[in-house]
Amino acid sequence: MWANNRFWMETQNLVTKRYGGKRKQHWYALLAMMKTFEWALKRCGQYERGLRNAQAIVLRELAVPLLRLPAAFDGFTILQVSDPHFDGMPGLEDRIAELVRGREFDLVVFTGDYRTQLHGPIRGVMASLERLIGQLRARHGFLGILGNHDDCHMVAPMERMGIRMLINENVVFERGGERLRIVGTDDVHYYYTDQSLHALEVAAEGCTVALVHSPELYDAAAEAGVDLYLCGHTHGGQIVLPGGMAPLKHLRAGRHLFSGQWRHRQMHGITNCGAGTSGIPVRFNTRGEVLALELRRAQ
């Protein structure tokens, strides 16, 4: 049922909204605007600088204190890779792998947007992703969710390569009789359904990390009792003006959560700036990143 519904929305270029209603996607109009901006950057000699900025991705280490984290999971490590858009930056998978070479994490999570194109073949981006996970080490394996640029047909190949896909589902890890739950939703920026809200309700059962492609469910997740909300989608603004203003955030809710670490009520959140770029392969005043997170038991 989920795949049928998602496939129908994808082929109709539909965006479904929280609280009801739907509209057509504006992605290709936006892409045309960005291509004009790309032309202007080339004319004024700034394109190469933006390209170099985009390719200089970093590994950022963050400790995340959680009140409900069971003692057995104190020090649990998660590598979060978000928004690689492999078709927009050839070779990105090897640059990510290089940043974490020799490291082993408890878990690796992928929070969506494996490609830039909204339609068409997926074989190339799936091959890049498979090449990346072949170079990563995770004691408890790989988890993934879909982003708004992703196709429902990616679920099967991603599972075949060893990524457990969470489409409004959750998985529980146990250590010494204690539990940590990871819940993942479908993308809610284009493909919102109430199933994503319902999936978050498992947070009532104990310490829960939510994987949602964009920050747009932050209020519902906090209400449900989620402890940590991991997302991406915004690329930290990708092209940010001096002073920190980001003209394009691609968010309908939670626009203030477009980058970095944040809190909403009891919930901690992290909006990953993404490893790749979309539209045009440049960044200004932001850095592409992958995040190495360490969960800590808050006092």
Residue ranges binding Fe ion (CB under 5 A): 113, 147-148, 233
State the residue for tokens 């045009």: 280
Q: How far is the CB of 117 from Fe ion (least distance, A)?
A: 13
- At 143, list the tokens: 């988890």
Instruction: Tell me the residue nearest to Fe ion as measured from the CB.
Output: 233
Q: What is the dihedral of CA 8, 81, 155, 205, to 10 degrees?
A: -90
Largest CA distance in the chain: 62
Residue 7 phi/psi, 5° resolution?
-65, -40
- At 80, list the tokens: 């979060």
Residue closer to Fe ion by CB (options 155, 295) is 155
Q: How far is the CB of 113 from Fe ion (least distance, A)?
A: 4
What does the alpha-carbon distance between residue 272 and residue 58 come to, in Å, rounded to a whole number? Answer: 12
The tally of CA atoms less than 13 A away on the side-chain side of residue 295 is: 29
What does the alpha-carbon distance between residue 264 and residue 221 come to, in Å, rounded to a whole number? Answer: 9
Q: How far is the CB of 83 from Fe ion (least distance, A)?
A: 6
Residue closer to Fe ion by CB (options 79, 188) is 188
Q: How far is the CB of 43 from Fe ion (least distance, A)?
A: 28
Q: Whose CA is closest to 53, among 277, 279, 294?
A: 277
Residue closer to Fe ion by CB (options 221, 295) is 221
Residue closer to Fe ion by CB (options 147, 225) is 147
Q: Whose CA is closest to 254, among 216, 299, 202?
A: 216
The tally of CA atoms less than 13 A away on the side-chain side of residue 194 is: 3
DSSP H helical segments within the chain, as ranges?
A: 2-11, 27-43, 47-55, 92-99, 123-133, 155-160, 194-200, 218-224
Q: How far is CA 290 from the centre of its chain?
A: 10
Q: How far is the CB of 222 from Fe ion (least distance, A)?
A: 21
- At 117, list the tokens: 């194109």
Residue closer to Fe ion by CB (options 27, 76) is 27
Residue closer to Fe ion by CB (options 233, 249) is 233
Q: How far is the CB of 48 from Fe ion (least distance, A)?
A: 26
Q: How far is the CB of 165 from Fe ion (least distance, A)?
A: 16
Residue closer to Fe ion by CB (options 81, 203) is 81
Q: How far is the CB of 189 from Fe ion (least distance, A)?
A: 6
Q: Do strands 260-264 and 228-231 pair parallel, antiparallel, or not at all (unpaired)?
A: unpaired
Residue closer to Fe ion by CB (options 83, 93) is 83
